[in-house]
Chains A and B, each alone.
Chain A
Amino acid sequence: MTPRRRRLLLVCGIVAGVAVSTGLALTAFRQNVTFYFIPSQVASGAVHSGEDFRLGGMVTKGSIHRVPGTLEIHFLVTDCTRTVPVTYTGLLPDLFREGQGVIAHGHLNGAGVFVADTVLAKHDEKYMPPEMAKQIEAEHGGVMPFGAEGDRLHTTTQAACAPQSPAQALSAAPPSTQASRGASRSPAAEGPPQASTRLPGGL
């Protein structure tokens, strides 16, 4: 074996060793790199009550309810399997909209309501002009002709949210959703990008 060949094997060995050990370490610490929990994980007891964590999901359409004269807001966060009610007082990012991704930091109170101290908007990787969004919504019934390979939140909720018929969507939603449907809507949700708010959750 020539010295050069030995060095080649050494470098390849180092790369392989680092890759394997990093892979094992990241798999072992998977829970600790979880940036947020989706409602299904919360429902299955992944978080202890009273503990601070981030809740990620889609803002259920028609669930936004503002308390007049205050900055208090109530809405539902869903992954289309389970839903968590959220209450928050404060300023919201512009992209906080119905049917869009959201990541809230806070804790669950005794009544199972998530009391948020921070609310961040999470958008997907799709960029297009407004006319194209309207056209896609008209032609494909809101289903994007793009591939499904997206981030974790959008790929997990897309499967659960997208292919439902209206009847299924209603039965999957908790009673509180329907109760608050038609309640006072936020100006943000009725802003210019109307087409977007009608696209299904993940899209």
Chain B
Amino acid sequence: MTWTWFHRLGSPPHIYRLATRLTPWFAWPAALIIVAALYGGLVLAPPDYQQGDGFRMVYVHAPCAWMSLMVYTTLAVASAVGLIWRMKVAYAVAASCAPIGASFTAAALMTGMLFGRPMWGTYWAWDPQLTFELVLLFIYLGYMGLRSSFDDPQRADRASSMLAVVGFIDVPIIHFSTTWWNSLHQAPSVLRFGKPTIALPMLIPLLMMLLGFTLYFVAILLVRLRGEILRRERSASWLREAIVS
């Protein structure tokens, strides 16, 4: 049956073994690509005509900001799958995403502050995009807080997933905030409908950085997912068998 692989995605032992096997295939390329992209961005890319060498902060700031949205999207989709199909592995994926996404969001906010001070002249402004990114950090923290406030894992899964699905509204708001409202932050340079507005030699390291960060996210997600499955299945027979053998 062609759908067997899909149904097996719902099986914790299968996912546990798959995650163990796949982790190095994401972790090593992530490390190599990030190192190469850093060299490309910090050394090879030319300085910007306006911002000089200061623009290089974009190579850390923009990927962090993209990842904060991408990880939340993963979290929200996994939560919805968990809610609709009552899939334990999907809940485990969502729970594993939260601390990673919160870290990327915090990193995006902090690198943004360090970027904003020399370019705009301020660390922080209550600009729509900055404010909604801060709200995203609070949604991540709220999701984690809500999960940990339940003793019953099933209730924790359902309640926190509902919050995750509702909170998804923040993702398109952050992305389109610069085109919808007056803002201090500029519009997206790469993730836009038209051509990127960043010159090719500067764009290549940026896209490599995004790829590297994505692979890093998957690697960390797989590691966290294994921990999450171990915690949830601690009394399951397959686990006892796997440890004994």
Contacts and interface: CB of A to CB of B under 8 A. Distances in A.
Interface of A: 4, 7-8, 10-11, 14-15, 18-19, 22, 26, 30, 33-38, 56, 92-96, 100, 103, 118-133, 144, 146-155, 193, 195-196
B178 A196 contact: no
B151 to A, nearest CB: 24
B118 A93 contact: yes
Given A15-B168, A35-B126, A35-B182, A121 B121 contact: yes
A196 B50 CA distance: 7
Chain B interface mostly: loop
- Most chain B beta-carbon contacts within 10 A, residue among A127, A131, A154, A193: A127
A127 B84 contact: no
B186 A151 contact: yes
B116 to A, nearest CB: 9
Given A22-B169, A123-B51, A151 B178 contact: yes
B202 interface: yes
Nearest to B194: A147
A35 B181 contact: yes
A191 to B, nearest CB: 10
7 contacts: A14-B165, A33-B181, A94-B118, A121-B119, A125-B198, A147-B192, A152-B179
A146 B119 contact: no
Given A22-B169, A127-B58, A128-B48, A147 B187 contact: no
B125 interface: yes
A153 B51 CA distance: 19
A196 B129 CA distance: 26
Interface string B119-154: 111100111100000000000000000000000000
Nearest to A132: B199
A144 B47 CA distance: 19
B195 A125 contact: no
Contact of A129 (B46, B185, B197): B46
A7 B80 CA distance: 9
Nearest to A96: B121
A55 to B, nearest CB: 11
Contacts of B184: 35-36, 103, 120, 122
Contacts of B185: 151
B18 interface: no
B179 to A, nearest CB: 7
Contact of B48 (A35, A127, A148, A150): A127
A104 B185 CA distance: 14
B103 interface: no
A120 B162 CA distance: 40
A120 B184 CA distance: 8
Residue of B50, B55, B126, B179 ringed by the most chain A CB atoms within 10 A: B50
A56 B199 contact: no
B120 A127 contact: no
Contacts of A146: 194-195, 197
B193 interface: yes
A14 B166 contact: yes
B183 A151 contact: yes
Given A56-B182, A125-B186, A33 B125 contact: no
